[in-house]
């Protein structure tokens, strides 16, 4: 697989589009938390179900911009 774990994974790239399931398997096995990008936006990727579930249940992460408060 043509993937450099030291560089963000380009989710909008042609290589990812044609080999996404190979990338998903590699990320789950070797890099459950990794860097990625979509166009020019940098993102953090979670590839394991348990990690994703923990993230969405954690109140420290804002899922609704209208609920953001200062302080």
Q: For residue 12, give every residue at least 6 positions away whose Cβ sits within 8 Å of its Cβ, in sequence order, or none.
A: 37, 38, 39
pLDDT at 17: 92
- Please state the domain extents for the chain: 9-58
Q: Provide the whole-model pTM.
A: 0.72
Of residues 29 and 4, more confidently modeled: 29
Interval 11-63: pLDDT, tens = 999 989 999 999 999 999 999 999 999 988 999 999 999 999 998 888 787 76
How far is 70 from 13, CA to CA, in rounded Å?
37
| Helix or strand holding residue 23 (H, E) | helix 14-30
Q: In angstroms, how far is CA 16 from the centroid of its own chain?
A: 13
pLDDT at 6: 83
């Amino acid at each position: 697989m043509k993937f450099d774990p030291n560089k963000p994974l380009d989710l909008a790239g042609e290589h990812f589009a044609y080999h996404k399931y190979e990338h998903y398997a590699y990320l789950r096995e070797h890099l459950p938390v990794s860097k990625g990008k979509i166009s020019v936006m940098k993102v953090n990727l979670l590839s394991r179900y348990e990690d994703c579930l923990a993230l969405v249940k954690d109140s420290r992460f804002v899922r609704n911009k209208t609920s953001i408060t200062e302080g």
